[in-house]
Amino acid sequence: MEMTFRWYGKEDPVTLEKIRQIPGMKGIVTAIYDIPVGEVWPLDKIQTLKAEIEKHGLELSVIESVPVHEDIKIGLPTREKYIENYKTTIKNLGEAGIPVVCYNFMPVFDWTRSSLDYELEDGSTALIFEEDVIEKMDPLTGELSLPGWDSSYEIEELQTLFDHYKQVDHEKLWENIGYFIKEIMPVAEASGVKMAIHPDDPPFDIFGLPRIITNKENLERFINLYDSPNNGLTMCSGSLGAVPENDFPDMLRYFGKKNRVNFVHARNVKLSGTRSFQESPHLSETGSIDMYEVIRAMKDFDYTGPIRPDHGRMIWGETGKPGYGLYDRALGATYLNGLWEAENKRRKY
């Protein structure tokens, strides 16, 4: 596997100089953050970003993400323009030598939590999802603050989106994602870019909006939309593992042997209900996901692609973007590398 780290650009307090010092670190996961959703990413900006990363002795391993415009998800006539722009961006990423693109198809909201600074027993803070709290929230009141795309919209725009989504149920969303995938995948194949859809986070409907990339059955349905290794998955332990019915190591092994795992997010969560959880340290004993079994599953299909330690706690007084501090994610990367080394040696001897 190739150990990578999320970086939010030059404004990120977690600098490339610091990331490079994490043992075993090889690559960077990032994006271009100043281009409006739906617009083309220019080749020169991609090349400049790549050169900056390589200057620090790292590789640009994954673009996370190229956002999918809501008109595509809803299926509006304007989607044609945005799909063509998406194709051009994929071509430009391929020309720049970017091997993997992570993206999602979640309506309106990206990953969603009820609190960004829940205090754990050890005094650190973490992201948490409490079903009863979320059920009381109304994203259209203007009082809701979530770490997703809601901050990109004014209340009037959100209301318009919700009105459009009244006509989009689960099957309509499947129809729209199928249309999108069949349009972009030939371009991804020709450009040498592996697409890796991220599961819905959390993997169930919220605020009355449908979510479909949620479980083993739906991941199977998704990869069957277009039969190609370029139409692959980001297997995220924290997203899929946020509900007890998802056996993440089994799912990882299953889709890995089908050659559809193009990226891995390693994050642990501690389940506190069927639809509630708190994010925890990567260590298996602190969460509900057995990280050793995750590594074993990856070894079972000889995974050689990128992996990154996903959301971490804020520890040792660190401040910054919740879930994306340096220290706990660095500990996570070291822990994952240790499990990988141990499993390699166990199989060797």
Supply 93's token pair. 């990423």
Tokens 């079994």 sit on residue:
293
Of 265, 282, 303, 328, the catalytic one is 265
Burial label for 68, CB within 10 Å (0-12, 13-18, 19+), is buried
Q: CA 125, 118, 10: angle at the middle one, nearest 5? A: 50
Q: Is residue 56 annotated as part of the catalytic site, yes or no?
A: no
Supply 284's token pair. 């298996």
User: What domain range is 119 assigned to?
Assistant: 2-348
Phi, psi at 236, each rounded to 5° = -105, 115
User: Cα dihedral sign for 86, 87, 93, 96?
Assistant: negative
What element of type H or E holds 5? strand 2-6
| Each residue's pLDDT tens digit, 240-272 | 999 999 999 999 999 999 999 999 999 999 999
Q: Is residue 200 annotated as part of the catalytic site, yes or no?
A: no
Indicate the number of domains in the chain: 1
Helix ranges (H only) for the chain are 16-20, 43-54, 70-74, 79-95, 131-136, 155-165, 170-191, 216-223, 237-240, 248-257, 291-300, 326-348
Of 86, 103, 118, 324, the catalytic one is 324
Q: Give the pLDDT of residue 148.
A: 47
Supply 29's token pair. 């996961």
- DSSP symbols for 56-106: TT-EEEEEE--PPPHHHHHT-TTHHHHHHHHHHHHHHHHHTT--EEEE---
Q: Is residue 282 annotated as part of the catalytic site, yes or no?
A: no
Q: Give the pLDDT of residue 149.
A: 46
Coil, strand or helix at 13: coil
Of 198, 201, 282, 328, the catalytic one is 198
Give the CATH number for residue 240: 3.20.20.150
Give the residue ranges of the chain where pLDDT is below 50.
Answer: 148-150
- Give the span between the Cα atoms of 288 and 5, in whole angstroms: 23
Q: Give the pLDDT of residue 83.
A: 98
Of 150, 236, 303, 335, the catalytic one is 236
Supply 3's token pair. 């150990």
Of 150, 311, 328, 335, the catalytic one is 311
Q: What is the pTM of this model?
A: 0.95
Going by C-alpha positions, the residue among 263, 241, 239 that lies closest to residue 250 is 241
Of 71, 150, 200, 310, the catalytic one is 310
**Do 178 and 225 contact (CB within 8 A), yes or no?**
yes
Q: Give the pLDDT of residue 230.
A: 98
Residue 293: which residues within 8 A CB-CB, separation 6 or more? Answer: 249
Going by C-alpha positions, the residue among 39, 55, 41, 30 that lies closest to residue 94 is 41
Q: CA 143, 147, 153: angle at the middle one, nearest 5? A: 60
Q: Is residue 265 annotated as part of the catalytic site, yes or no?
A: yes
